[in-house]
Chain A
Amino acid sequence: MNTHIYRVVIRSQISTGRLLALAGLSGVAILLAFVARAADDPVEVATRSMGTFGTNVFAPFIALALGSTALGNLVEDRTLVYVWLRPVPRHSVATAAFAAVLSVVGPIVVAVMTVAAAITGVDDLLVATAVATALAVFAYSGLFLALGLRFKRSLLIGLGYIAIWELLLSRLGDWFARLSVRSYPMSILSDATDVSMRLADRSTLASYIVPLAVGLAGLLYTSWRLSRTEID
């Protein structure tokens, strides 16, 4: 990994709009946690809240906002040339960008969701939320990093992917659900509290392996794409 590129990507990611979005979504997570704590069946409500909001909304949207722009912005404003012209292996550029996205999205989303899980008072949910959110962040960050490099309107395409594929088509049947990233971290939450949720019936092993594989596949594609792409 190239630390200079890592630092530049980190700097490019920090903007007022993104910080406000992060703060807003964090606030919603905490609010939902208090609602779950006050519910008649806090275990079920908390599990559903953490699953529905944490892995279906918070992690993918923040990963999209930062992942798709990490290299995508460099492509769109035609500044990728200032990275490409250097004698730096392309996989090292991809790894630096991935690490930068993870190190911004990961700690914030995981920390906020873990605090939210703690607020619910459901002990079984604490570690499961941290792990499920971390895996969701890893998968979505890799996916959207690749998307940002591949497509010009990646933010729009990513939003379409989350809304249409992850939130809509994944409900059509088991095979669709298997191709939905969110079903895997949700299964971890479901396993931890024994609360049954739609889509959350993946095996324990698959729940851990698939998100990691998706994230790594995104990283590998990004490296490959970087070495093949022509720079404006």
Chain B
Amino acid sequence: MSQAQTQTAPPPMVQAEGVSKWFGDLVAVSDVSFSIGAGVTALLGPNGAGKSTLLRMMCGLARPSNGSLTVLGKNPRADVAVLGRIGMAPQQESLLDYLSGREFVELAAQLHHVDNPVEAARRAIQTVELDPDDPRKLSTYSKGMRQRIKLAQAIVHDPLVIALDEPLTGLDPRQRREMIQLFHRLGSEGKCVIVSSHVLDEVERFGSRVLVIAQGRLAAEGDFREIRNLMDDRPLRISIRTDQPRALAIALLNRGVISGCRLEANNLVVVDTSDPTAFRRAVAPAARDQDASLLELRPLDDDLESVFRYLVGQ
């Protein structure tokens, strides 16, 4: 075997090429291409961005309207066997409520033809910090317990690709920490763990590769720190309340850190900056030079939606 062959990168575990999905006139996913290997990958985007649709297509629950999506080299929609290597925790809360948690996870193990489904179910339930001997029906489970039992059924058969749709919703901070550790452990075992979330800070704690999905498009892709920097450096509109709005606005314009401004009532000035970092450094010295008091600084478009809108425009 040649050195070139031995150093060949492993094939991606999930690969999307020009994938689109539409429902009538609604385009849920538009021409998305990516490849994902082992480790934890976060799918970040606002609600309705197309994350769940992408995950559903990865697990064969929906077929792409256009393009191709393969998991472990197979089409999960056409090849039922590949579903044995995929685990998924869907977003919806509904479960088979007439079963107990153990029965629910055992059923998953049985349908995946696991050798010892009873033992596998016990292990998976313990992994998500639930009691495998709890006889209660799923209908009595709290939101956090439902999230964890969904995770247990997703990992009970030791899959290679694990797709988790908003898995931290409803968990308390300690449980979130434990779950994130579990994702990393699974990732370090060579599994491909794909976790969707609309919470920026949550994804930051996954600390891994990120695919940013906005308006059905792949808005950004790469290491989380790079994307975070990109997000932090985007143009911002900021409202400043000061006792000398006109003087402060002129000072900021003269320093070249804002591209426009508008004076408003109640001592407010709204400024546009394309260099938020430079603005943050300059605003306090500019106020000091003008003997102006800074009473309030408030970003007007710092919500996640506007961050994603910006990334889509990039």
Where the two chains meet, the residues of A that have a C-beta atom closer than 8 Å to any C-beta of B are 2, 4-5, 8, 11-12, 77-79, 81-90, 230-232
Contacts and interface: CB of A to CB of B under 8 A. Distances in A.
B96 interface: yes
B185 interface: no
Contact of A77 (B61, B87, B94, B108): B94
Contacts of A230: 56, 61-63
B81 interface: yes
Contact of A4 (B59, B80, B81, B111): B111
Contacts of B99: 8, 11
Contacts, number: 65
B144 interface: no
Nearest to B52: A232
Contacts of B84: 86-87
B112 interface: yes
Contacts of A4: 107, 110-111
- B interface, size bucket: 20 to 34
Given A11-B98, A230-B61, A87 B83 contact: yes
B132 interface: no
Contact of B94 (A8, A12, A79, A231): A79
Nearest to A3: B110
B86 A85 contact: yes
Contacts of A2: 111
Given A81-B90, A89-B80, A231-B56, A12 B96 contact: yes
A232 B90 CA distance: 9
Would you call the interface of chain A mostly helix, strand, loop, or mixed?
loop
8 contacts: A8-B99, A78-B94, A81-B88, A82-B95, A85-B86, A86-B108, A231-B62, A232-B92
A78 B52 CA distance: 14
Contacts of B95: 79, 82
B280 interface: no
A81 B153 contact: no
Find the residue from A8, A77, A82, A90 having the highest chain B CB count within 10 A. Answer: A82
B113 interface: yes
B146 to A, nearest CB: 12
Contact of A82 (B80, B81, B83, B108): B108
Contact of A87 (B81, B94, B107, B153): B81
Nearest to B83: A87
A50 to B, nearest CB: 35
A8 B104 CA distance: 10
B94 A84 contact: no
Contacts of B90: 78, 81
B56 A5 contact: no
A74 to B, nearest CB: 8
Contacts of A79: 94-96
Interface string B86-126: 11101010111011000010011011110000000000000
B13 to A, nearest CB: 17
Interface string B181-224: 00000000000000000000000000000000000000000000
A5 B111 contact: yes
Contacts of B96: 8, 12, 79, 82
A84 B61 contact: yes
A152 to B, nearest CB: 15
Given A4-B107, A11-B99, A88 B59 contact: no
Given A8-B99, A11-B99, A82-B153, 4 more contacts: A5-B111, A82-B108, A87-B80, A88-B111
Nearest to B57: A230
A83 B110 CA distance: 11
A85 B59 CA distance: 7
Given A78-B92, A85-B83, A231-B62, A12 B112 contact: no
A86 B94 contact: no
Nearest to A87: B84
Contact of B80 (A5, A8, A77, A88): A88
Nearest to B92: A78
A28 B86 CA distance: 51
Top 7 closest pairs, chain A to chain B, by CB: A86-B111, A87-B84, A231-B61, A230-B62, A87-B83, A4-B110, A77-B94
